Amino acid sequence: QVQLVESGGGSVQAGGSLRLSCAASGYTYSDGCMAWFRQAPGKEREGVAAIYPRGGSTYYADSVKGRFTISQDTAKNTVYLQMNSLKPEDTAMYYCAAGILRCGSAWYTGLTYDYWGQGTQVTVSS
């Protein structure tokens, strides 16, 4: 049974930082694309960043480039999202997602992924 467990969310002031973690189990970690998505109330789900564990290729939404960094610890089957210079518009529920195929041009769409975590809330106050 595949499980993705997120942690690290919380409340922070604008300009602050948080690091999210996603621990994967029951899943062949290196085979597929792993990503972070977010969804704010009343808004569509948005792909934030993705990583292909086998080669380390990374992908980012324009809205987070230069502020967020996705990384991995293959020994721990864990993906991280380091979020710096946080803005109030980054407030959302953040979800970890894992697919069985490598990342591609559609990395930012939910259809690419087969497994989802339960989410962790990030709140940024101004």
Summarised one tens digit per residue, pLDDT across range 26-72 is: 877 678 999 999 999 999 999 999 999 888 899 999 999 999 999 99
Q: Which residue has the tokens 């864990």?
A: 78
What pLDDT score was predicted for residue 29? 67
Q: Measuring CA to CA, how many Å separate 112 from each of 59, 61, 106?
A: 14, 15, 7
Q: Which amino acid is at 85?
A: S
Higher pLDDT, 110 or 8: 8
Query: Which of 111, 97, 94 is CA-nearest to residue 32?
Result: 97
Cα–Cα distance measured from residue 28 to residue 18, given in angstroms and rounded to the nearest whole number: 27
What pLDDT score was predicted for residue 62? 97
Radius of gyration of the chain, Cα coordinates, nearest whole angstrom? 13
Tokens of 108: 């930012």
